[in-house]
Every structure is written in C-alpha cells, then in structure tokens.
Amino acid sequence: MLLVDKIIEITDKYVVGVKNVTFNEGYFMGHFPGNPVMPGVLQIEALAQAGGIFVLNQVDDPENYDTYFLKIDKVKFKKKVLPGDTLILKMELMHPIRRGICEMKATAYVGNTLVTEGELTAQVVKRSVAK
C-alpha cells in the first residue's frame, strides 16, 4: 500500500512528501463507521515510506538497496486526520547516516497544524545477489 502520493522536496538533510487523504480510502470503512479517521499507524507508515525514499536517495545505486525500519519512538498523534485532508510528511535527518543507520525526526501536518510527530530509525541494506 503506497501512502506517499508525491515528493515535493528532497535535500541531503530532509524530504517532504504529500499524501492526499481521500474519501475512498479502504480503511475508512472500518475506522470508524460514520466517523472516518486515518489510522495513526498508517500516518506513521506514510512517514516511514517518505523516509525510505529519503534514505535511498542518499546512495548511488538505490535499486540495489532496501530500507528497513528498526525503531519508532516518541510518537504523538495531536489531531485527527480526516477524509479530504492533505497530509504533508517531513522526515529530517537527526544525525549523519553512519554504518547504514539513519535517525530521522518525523512530522506530519495538515495545513500549518502539526498532527503527528515522532522519531524513526531505519537501516539501509544492500540486497543480496540471487543465486
């Protein structure tokens, strides 16, 4: 399930992506009937996907690497994300990438309102050659 619609900015320090939260998202049928709210776990997944794009953008041959998330800390859901919202996803490097480990500050906004924040740690791993 792809949860990043587009990347609008990427540098060597951060990435900014967009998720348009539409009324026809499948998860709204059960979360919650008559009161649709984007699940927090999917907000974190959208941030993680943006972070994965950021990490792979840092290597010369990204098609030969995968990104795995190792840790998710200090997550706070501050406001509901509703159908029709545009979720702005920002993943910012907290420290230089060392030994394939990347620590990022995650923030998600609807307009100028912070809706979700946390810290995510990922590892970039070179794919094994299939035999």
Positions annotated as catalytic residues are 31
Q: Which residues of 43-54 are buried (b: 16+ CB within 10 A; e: fewer)?
A: bbbbbbbbbbbb
Q: Using an 8 Å Cβ cutoff, are 116 and 45 in contact?
A: no
* 8 A C-beta contact, residue 46 and residue 108: yes
51: nearest Cα among 17, 91, 11, 1: 91
